[in-house]
């Protein structure tokens, strides 16, 4: 028993802990890291001491010493022309999935500071220089810039659509099949004039559109270019564009939207002009964001397995960091039928 057992000396760093245990800093460090070179007895004793005194290794110092940052940057690529927002709910759901996976692996998440207009600006930015790796969500219209980045930096993973000539590791879901599933479902429900809402300026949407066209062709329906509408991502713009379009456009009996958020804006606009959904016009979205089940009516949509996607993105970027070979991943999509396309749901 020492003279005074008061917790006079708070254990604030490794040196304090080593002093307390009567060993060197080196030994204390190894013991805490369970290095087998240290005797089991010593390890136990030091670990117990750390626990009792509420000491935990200072991770920033550790990372600094190990020349890693412990940080993964997450960059949301926004479609410039269409003013897509970070508040797109799909992005936010995705962010949650990534955050959880990173936390499990003991990495921090650094959020992109601002909408990135040009990836080149990132090259010397703090964001990329001071993270161990980066996850880009969406390719936007910057495929080439991403390729350049990938050539210079090793640990970079992109969520999106595999485009020819890409030089980065890609994780995505099968957009062509997703588009095909949505359109095929509408055809099966007896719809014949199926509109397509959304810009196809980025690879993901272009693939969804290709799937839509394939579905029409396979079912003997002719694609009518007048039924393809370039709706902006931006909710505000979409909200004003959609009613206008509904007024002047040829008739259709179904709409396939390129995101759920756009589909919800469409529902609102349709119902406001007295159109019944799904009786008059069926509506299908894309993503299956968490709110899709709770719109009125609940939204039929193509589910992207977002949480799983987050986990795969994290696994992939950490694989690259650790120098492992990492392959592309394409996740399956899944049609979720709800009342917006099916009175019986």
Provide the binding-site residues for a copy of itself, judged by CB under 8 A.
1-4, 54, 56, 58-61, 63-64, 69, 71, 85-87, 89, 92-93, 96, 99-100, 103, 108-111, 113-114, 124, 126, 128-134, 152-156, 235, 239, 261, 264-265, 267-268, 271-272, 290-291, 293-298, 339
Residue closest to 333 by CA, chosen among 166, 231, 207, 187 = 207
User: Between residues 203 and 297, which has the closer beta carbon with respect to a copy of itself?
Assistant: 297
Binding of DNA by 61 (CB under 7 A) = yes
Give the residue, chosen from 7, 10, 12, 293, that forms a contact with DNA under the rule CB under 7 A: 12
Give the residue, chosen from 53, 62, 120, 214, that forms a contact with DNA under the rule CB under 7 A: 62
User: Between residues 25 and 153, which has the closer beta carbon with respect to a copy of itself?
Assistant: 153
Binding of DNA by 53 (CB under 7 A) = no
How many angstroms separate the CA atoms of 34 and 279, rounded? 66
Binding of DNA by 242 (CB under 7 A) = no
**Closest distance of CB 19 from DNA, Å:** 11
Binding of DNA by 10 (CB under 7 A) = no
User: Between residues 219 and 272, which has the closer beta carbon with respect to a copy of itself?
Assistant: 272
User: Between residues 206 and 237, which has the closer beta carbon with respect to a copy of itself?
Assistant: 237
Residues that bind DNA (CB under 7 A): 12-15, 22-27, 29-30, 32-33, 36-40, 42, 57-58, 61-62, 64-67
């Amino acid at each position: 028993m020492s003279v005074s057992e008061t917790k006079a000396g708070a254990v604030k760093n490794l040196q304090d802990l080593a002093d307390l245990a009567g060993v060197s800093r080196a030994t204390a460090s190894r013991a805490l890291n369970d290095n087998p070179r240290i005797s089991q007895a010593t390890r136990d004793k030091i670990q117990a001491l750390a626990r009792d005194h509420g000491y935990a290794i200072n991770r920033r110092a550790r990372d600094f010493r190990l020349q890693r940052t412990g940080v993964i940057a997450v960059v949301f690529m926004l479609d410039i022309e269409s003013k897509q927002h970070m508040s797109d709910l799909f992005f936010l759901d995705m962010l949650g999935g990534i955050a959880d996976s990173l936390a499990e692996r003991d990495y921090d998440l650094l959020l992109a500071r601002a909408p990135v207009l040009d990836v080149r600006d990132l090259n010397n930015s703090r964001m990329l220089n001071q993270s161990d790796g980066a996850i880009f969500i969406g390719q936007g219209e910057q495929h080439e810039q991403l390729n350049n980045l990938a050539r210079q930096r090793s640990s970079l993973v992109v969520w999106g659509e595999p485009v020819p000539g890409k030089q980065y590791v890609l994780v995505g879901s099968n957009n062509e099949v997703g588009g095909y599933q949505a359109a095929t479902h509408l055809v099966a429900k007896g719809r014949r004039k199926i509109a397509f809402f959304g810009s196809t300026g980025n690879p993901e949407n272009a693939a969804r559109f290709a799937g839509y066209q394939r579905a029409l062709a396979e079912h003997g329906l002719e694609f009518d270019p007048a039924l393809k509408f370039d709706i902006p991502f931006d909710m505000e713009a979409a909200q004003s564009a959609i009613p206008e379009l509904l007024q002047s456009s040829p008739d259709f009996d179904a709409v396939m939207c390129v995101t759920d958020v756009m589909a919800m804006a469409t529902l609102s606009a349709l119902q406001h002009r007295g159109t019944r959904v799904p009786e008059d016009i069926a509506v299908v979205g894309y993503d299956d964001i968490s709110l899709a089940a709770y719109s009125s009516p609940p939204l039929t949509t193509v589910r992207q397995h977002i949480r799983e996607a987050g986990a795969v993105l994290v696994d992939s970027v950490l694989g690259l960091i650790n120098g492992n070979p990492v392959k592309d991943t394409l996740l399956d999509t899944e049609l979720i039928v709800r009342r917006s396309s099916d009175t019986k749901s």
